[in-house]
Amino acid sequence: MNKFEFVAPCHFGLEAVLKKEILDLGYEIVSVEDGKVTFTGGVDAICRSNIFLRTTERVLLKVAKFKAETFEELFEKTKLIPWENYIPVDGKFWVAKATSIKSKLFSPSDIQSIMKKAMVERLKVKYNVSWFEESGMEFPIRVTFMKDEVTIGIDTSGASLHKRGYRKLVSKAPITETLAAALIMLTPWNKDRILVDPFCGSGTIPIEAAMIGANIAPGMNRSFLSESWTHLIPKKTWYAAIEEAHSLIKEDVELNIQGYDMDGEIVKAARENAKLAGVDQYIHFQQRSVSDLSHPKKYGFIITNPPYGERLEEKEELPKLYKEIGRTFNALDSWSYYIITSYEDVQKYIGRQADKNRKIYNGMLKTYFYQFMGPKPPRPKKEFEN
């Protein structure tokens, strides 16, 4: 079986979560760096990682890694890559994205242009043609420069993997599906525990939790760019991965997940999104403010993404809001609660120091995942026979 290397990018600060997911799929880790995990696998890894991974943004088929400090060096080394092993004669290929950090070559448009020329020159010779129609399958290339080291990959996913296909309606400041899944996976929550999101917006955190609880693969209801690469991936490999995903769903699972929001319209949208995700039966959505939050059960989890106050007029309201959050959450004194926000005075206004605080970059925005742990519930007593 041919082995390939893959690069899976993720939010900065969530590499360990993604690494565990990849290991759980049975693939070998090559490296873990800021914002990405590199791993190896056969051609089946393209299908399975796209369908099963909850916390990566996309899966790149890595084709080369080298050092380049000049455009001439970039051209020559790009030209040496065996592009004909991946791209057929009628394939459409382009450098979709170029990023550069602390490198001598930093202009994305120049990098894209030079690399495309090098690819064309290579494939002209290999296919003995002078012009490419580019009417067939698509092969978007992504390249990153880090301290003059170049990593080149072909995007197998297409639309970002956070686009699961269920979120047709969104709230004002939605959290991405990949980030929501990662936050849940950073906590000890499991399908047997209560989960409440009192700022649920369009329902992303409760929906991702329900999908995790019912073991529904995040990529089951969408398509991927590499599905058309039949010269590299047999159709039966995709069918096998989808069949595997269906076989792992826990149809009879019982979940206690609730989502609340003050905005009645956005609560309706959350219900619709949950229906599209196939998890509406597991989640109770209700219009309710955070100050009205209470629960009869003694132990539970709150995982939430409250307003950050990105606009000036909203910032002035934040002390009042976070005091209210503190009063409400602290009244549930045996619960654990987890808050992601860019607001740095959370602990001051909640009135309690977080047990853990993890820095996570949501795009370019630095956020903090504050973790306030409640006591562990007692183990259920075992019944012994006489």
Q: What is the model's pLDDT at position 173?
A: 65
Q: Are 139 and 158 in contact (CB under 8 A)?
A: no
Query: Is pLDDT at 81 greater than 90 in this prediction?
Result: yes
> How large is the average pLDDT for residues 19-34?
97
Q: What is the model's pLDDT at position 184?
A: 98
Query: Is pLDDT at 47 greater than 60 in this prediction?
Result: yes
Which residue blocks in the chain are alpha helix, DSSP H? 15-24, 44-52, 71-79, 108-127, 177-185, 204-213, 235-247, 264-277, 312-315, 318-331, 346-350
**Structure tokens, 177:** 């599906």
Indicate if 275 and 364 belong to the same structural domain. Answer: yes
Indicate if 124 and 191 belong to the same structural domain. Answer: no
> Does any domain span residue 166?
no
**Structure tokens, 62:** 């890595």
Q: What is the model's pLDDT at position 382?
A: 59
Contacts of 298 (CB under 8 A, 6+ apart): 334, 377
> Does any domain span residue 226?
no
Indicate if 82 and 195 belong to the same structural domain. Answer: no
User: At 32, which helix (H) or strand (E)?
Assistant: strand 28-33
Indicate if 114 and 20 belong to the same structural domain. Answer: yes
Task: Say which DSSP state 127 is in.
Answer: H
> Please, what sign has the CA dihedral across residues 37, 41, 43, 49?
negative
- CB count, 10 Å around CB of 182? 25
> Which amino acid, residue 286?
Q
Indicate if 150 and 186 belong to the same structural domain. Answer: no
Q: What is the 3-state secondary structure (H, E, C) of 239-307?
A: HHHHHHHHHCCCCCCCCCEEEEECCHHHHHHHHHHHHHHCCHHHEEEEECCHHHCCCCCCCCEEEECCC
Q: What is the model's pLDDT at position 307?
A: 87
Indicate if 39 and 144 belong to the same structural domain. Answer: yes
Going by pLDDT thresholds of 50, 70 and 90, the confidence category of residue 316 is: confident
**Structure tokens, 184:** 């849940």
- CB count, 10 Å around CB of 66? 16
Q: Are 68 and 114 in contact (CB under 8 A)?
A: no
Q: Output the domain CATH number for residue 93.
A: 3.30.2130.30
| Domains identified in the chain, total number | 2
Residue 143 burial (CB < 10 Å; 0-12/13-18/19+)?
buried
Indicate if 336 and 194 belong to the same structural domain. Answer: yes
> Does any domain span residue 364?
yes
Domain span at 81? 4-155
> Does any domain span residue 377?
no
Contacts of 361 (CB under 8 A, 6+ apart): 11, 12, 13, 35, 367
Last residue of a domain, one of 122, 155, 188: 155
Going by pLDDT thresholds of 50, 70 and 90, the confidence category of residue 141 is: very high
Query: Is pLDDT at 15 greater than 70 in this prediction?
Result: yes
Indicate if 281 and 149 belong to the same structural domain. Answer: no
> Does any domain span residue 378?
no
> Does any domain span residue 71?
yes
> How large is the average pLDDT for residues 324-353?
94
- CB count, 10 Å around CB of 334? 12
Indicate if 296 and 191 belong to the same structural domain. Answer: yes
> Does any domain span residue 53?
yes
Q: Output the domain CATH number for residue 341.
A: 3.40.50.150
> Does any domain span residue 301?
yes
Question: 351 — alpha (psi -120 to 50), left (phi > 0) or beta?
Answer: left
Collapsing DSSP to helix, strand or coil, 15 comes out as: helix
Going by pLDDT thresholds of 50, 70 and 90, the confidence category of residue 384 is: very low
> How large is the average pLDDT for residues 195-219?
97
> How large is the average pLDDT for residues 78-106?
97
Indicate if 201 and 95 belong to the same structural domain. Answer: no
Q: What is the residue-averaged pLDDT of the chain?
A: 94
Indicate if 211 and 146 belong to the same structural domain. Answer: no
Indicate if 205 and 345 belong to the same structural domain. Answer: yes
Q: What is the 3-state secondary structure (H, E, C) of 59-90?
A: CEEEEEEEECCCHHHHHHHHHCCCHHHCCCCC
Strand partners, 154: 61, 141
